[in-house]
Amino acid sequence: MSTAAPAEAPSASADGNADAGRPPGDGGNTEAGEERDRPQDAWSARRDLRNHIPRQLRPAGGASYGGGQVGGDQFGVSGGSVAGDVLVGGTKTEIHYQFAVDSSSVTAGEVPPVTLERIARSFVSDETAFARLAGRLRDERFLVLTGAAFTGRRTAALMLLRHLGAAPVRILDPVTTPTALTRQLKDRGDAPQGLLLCDPDYGGDQPLREPHLLAAREELITRNAYLIVTMGPTTRLADVPVETWSPPSPADVLAAHLRAQTDERTTRRLLRHEAAVKALADEDTHQLREIAALAEALLRHERGEGHAELSEFARKIVEDQVREWFEEDEENVPLREKAFLIALAVFDGGPYALTAEVADVLYELLQETQASGLRPEIPIFGTHIGKRLQLARAKLFRAREDTDWGPVEQTKAAYRDEKAALVLLREVWTGHPSARPALVKWLQALVADGRPLVRTRAAYSAAALARMDLPSAMALVIEKWASSHLFRQRNAATNALALAHDLGTPNIPRILDDWCDREDEGLCWTAIRALALIGPADPEHSLAALRKAARRLYESNEAKERERDRARVDDRDRERGQQDGQEGPGRHPIRHPRPEEPAAEAGRKPNPKIAQALAESVDLLLLSEAKDTVLADLIRTREVDDPVRNMTLSGFLSACAHVGEAEDDGRPLILSWYAASSSAAPALAMLWRGALGSRQHTTTALSRMRQWVLLADRVPEVEGMLTELLPALVTTGTEHRRLSHLLRTMPGEEGGAPPLAAHRLLAVLDAHRSPSAQGVHHG
């Protein structure tokens, strides 16, 4: 059964938010904006939540939805684990897994021959490409090899030098300047035959130029030596011919590392291990240094060691990468790029342009915390998308995005490993508390945004923070949103609590139960709406909490009415005393005997916003996957007391307004349920009769029925369903008169001719009159 909302006209925002289109960072706290702030109806709010939650919470995405597990992994405060001896993520690690030498060897400069031989045993490359590079190095004596970080370009450089017999090999200091390069060659009497300069640290005003290399070439020829310079793909060069290193596939690297230390049969078996299959599922997810580390872990597992390490391998890789990002200095990972990494965690799988936009807002807030006296400069152009995504280990793709104006194709960005987003948020929130003030302000700005996607992801972020540190997230973010007088913030708190529950955060139902009993309207409203979202998992508990809130609402209203009545009596007594001349300086009014004051006016309603929230929550639960349990519970408790009866009937009539998707011809969902379920039909008819017979709800009930009849005039299937329903609604003469009057007098759409379906349904109604309804005339 579809649970889509009726089609809505495009608007600035799905909830009529006055801040639609307002850029993030502008809270919109103007008087005009606050006056136009209205609660988004619960049905549309849930639709936005479902459309825009990240992939980690989508049932179809392979991750559980509502069990605290994401992709099979736990991501709470205790969910992670320290990487132990496997430190993946720094220069030291890359050297260990790619060069098989430690950092002291690099500092000393010379690479021992035994190390080169060990690397050669597991080195793999495209033979044709490798031979071409070796030939060019032989002819030119120098080679500039560019490529992305961690693609094995330095390992390839070592193997090229070894292939040409250029030994020993010395790794030059990265701070070697272009002009100092030749001088070093001349001054070094024992210059080795192989020289490797890895990622030289050249400033923008001192780029490497071809004359530098040509001058070095003369010295290289004299000494029968070879030089390779490795650089990143975006390093600034001036007229320097370069070669691009294309890395081998991770599968080939893993197989080569295994074959270097075991036999072919064991290699094939280890390649079929679950950890290896997962790692190779997406060749771009893991770096080659991590594939080499995986080989070591598989081999230890084969020897009966490190079983836990292998099972936790994928998680540790992500955790170490995230830790590396935020422990790196500004030169390697600038603050602006750190802000982008955080924004990508929040908007994982969302439009790239939007992610970059809100990342700059976060960057300004982080800069304000880090150096409040400096105004951050954000370059409008020059940001290299490919470089950004490479650093983030993310991918760019085209996909559909749901908007207020219908689905559109957009360019999106996502982490290659879907675990990265939650791990990153945990690292920032719990590992770097100094970032919290900026993050809190940023989330506040996102909640004020006019786009449902932005607001939903802000709520998701708060939920993720609550999963990691519930007390802090509640105090700094969620509770402040919930107690706000702005409904967009309350709705964000609602979504945050529901998503936190889906992530497995403990105590959420307890929090909602407590808030339902609060005098604070915001907390109560938020709890009621959130109960509808988490309710399908435990509908009886949620309905019991809603009934408690309904009773408290009416009790509070009655107490306020009594207080107002007493105030009115006191005012009237005071006026009488003044008229009788009995009140003056130093004198007290004389109380005259008076009859009992009349009770509060009949029909006076309690807080309408809370009452509406209760009805909409029942509405959502009644059309949720737990609808059968919800319906049985509503029938069982519907006549317990007036507050519960009003909540039940209001929620039922609210549910009657919803229709399915266009492919279902817009059929009313409650009516379709009635026609499809013989077990639910009697209970649904009972609620209909209760609504039609209630003085408080009859007008709304007749309006809903009128909408169904108008729809039946266009959709034959709906008329057929009404043909089944109407006879069940006329068990008394009063019920018959009420519905027959509606069908006889209702006009068509926009005041047109009466619908023909109404005439046919009236005939059905008359043909099925109950004995108690006999003798009723149409007049």
Rounded CA-CA distance 420/278 in Å is: 15
The more confidently predicted of residues 282 and 287 is 287
The two tokens of residue 88 are: 């993946």
| Chain segment 157-190, per-residue pLDDT in tens | 999 999 998 888 888 877 766 666 666 666 555 5
Please check whether residue 17 is in contact with residue 488, taking contact to mean a CB–CB distance below 8 angstroms. Answer: yes
Q: How confident is the model at residue 287 (pLDDT cuts 50, 70, 90)?
A: confident
| Chain segment 200-236, per-residue pLDDT in tens | 766 555 667 777 778 778 878 888 889 998 887 666 6
Task: Delineate the domains of the chain, giving CATH numbers in brackets.
Answer: 125-244 (3.40.50.300), 250-323 (no CATH), 656-773 (no CATH)
Residue with tokens 């089944």: 724
Coil vs helix vs strand at 376? coil
pLDDT for residue 185? 64
* Residue 597 DSSP code: P
520 has a pLDDT exceeding 60: yes
Give the mean model confidence (pLDDT) for residues 322-348.
89
* Pick from 191-195, 406-410, 745-749: least confident: 191-195
Q: Which of 176, 49, 82 is nearest to 498 (CA)?
A: 49
Rounded CA-CA distance 546/634 in Å is: 11
Rounded CA-CA distance 160/245 in Å is: 12
303 has a pLDDT exceeding 90: no
568 has a pLDDT exceeding 90: no
pLDDT for residue 36? 60
Q: How many residues does the chain have?
A: 779
Rounded CA-CA distance 111/115 in Å is: 7
Instruction: State the Cα angle at 209 between 208 and 213, rounded to 5°.
Output: 95
Please check whether residue 657 is in contact with residue 612, taking contact to mean a CB–CB distance below 8 angstroms. Answer: no
pLDDT for residue 387? 80
Q: Which of 65, 63, 43 is nearest to 504 (CA)?
A: 65
Compute φ and ψ for 408, nearest 5 degrees: -135, 155
Q: Quick one: 551 exposed, middle or buried, by C-beta within 10 A (0-12, 13-18, 19+)?
A: middle
Residue type, 670: I
Instruction: State the Cα angle at 603 between 601 and 605, rounded to 5°.
Output: 100
Give Cα separations from 487 to 404, 482, 601, 724 (angstroms).
Answer: 19, 9, 30, 41
pLDDT for residue 490? 96
The more confidently predicted of residues 124 and 463 is 463
**Of 48-62, 95-109, 477-491, 584-598, where does the model show the most confidence?**
477-491
Residue type, 733: G
Rounded CA-CA distance 21/505 in Å is: 33
Coil vs helix vs strand at 112? coil
Coil vs helix vs strand at 142? strand
Give Cα separations from 211 to 144, 215, 243, 267, 355 (angstroms).
Answer: 13, 6, 17, 48, 42
367 has a pLDDT exceeding 70: yes
Q: Which of 104, 114, 132 is nearest to 168 (CA)?
A: 114
Give the mean model confidence (pLDDT) for residues 413-428.
92
| Chain segment 42-78, per-residue pLDDT in tens | 999 998 888 888 877 765 333 333 333 333 333 333 3
Compute φ and ψ for 394, nearest 5 degrees: -120, 170
Compute the mean pLDDT over every residue in the chain, rounded to the nearest whole number: 79
| Chain segment 254-268, per-residue pLDDT in tens | 888 898 888 899 989
Give Cα separations from 167 to 52, 132, 366, 450 (angstroms).
Answer: 58, 20, 49, 64
Q: How confident is the model at residue 442 (pLDDT cuts 50, 70, 90)?
A: very high
pLDDT for residue 764? 93
499 has a pLDDT exceeding 70: yes
Residues near 190 by beta carbon (within 8 Å), at least 6 away in sequence: none
Q: How confident is the model at residue 5 (pLDDT cuts 50, 70, 90)?
A: very low
Per DSSP, helices labelled H in 656-755 are 669-676, 681-692, 698-712, 716-725, 733-745
The more confidently predicted of residues 383 and 609 is 609
Q: How confident is the model at residue 82 (pLDDT cuts 50, 70, 90)?
A: very low
737 has a pLDDT exceeding 80: yes
pLDDT for residue 558? 57
* Cβ-based neighbour number of residue 423 at 10 Å: 24
pLDDT for residue 184? 66
What is the Cβ-side half-sphere exposure of residue 63, based on CA atoms within 13 angstroms? 23
pLDDT for residue 342? 97
Query: What is this structure's pTM?
Result: 0.74
| Chain segment 653-701, per-residue pLDDT in tens | 999 999 987 655 679 999 999 999 999 999 999 999 999 999 999 999 9
pLDDT for residue 68? 35
pLDDT for residue 605? 66
Across 170-195, b (16+ Cβ under 10 Å) vs e yields bbbeeebebeebbebbeeeeebbbbb
Rounded CA-CA distance 529/512 in Å is: 10
Percent of the chain surpassing pLDDT 70: 75
The terminus-to-terminus CA distance of the chain in angstroms comes to: 42
Per DSSP, helices labelled H in 260-334 are 264-271, 274-281, 288-302, 307-311, 313-327
646 has a pLDDT exceeding 70: yes
**Chain centroid, CA 671 distance in Å:** 34
97 has a pLDDT exceeding 70: no
* Cβ-based neighbour number of residue 214 at 10 Å: 13
The more confidently predicted of residues 142 and 240 is 142
The two tokens of residue 77 are: 């405060």
Q: Quick one: 242 exposed, middle or buried, by C-beta within 10 A (0-12, 13-18, 19+)?
A: middle
Residue with tokens 């940001």: 383
Bridge partners (DSSP) of residue 146 are 231, 244
pLDDT for residue 359? 95
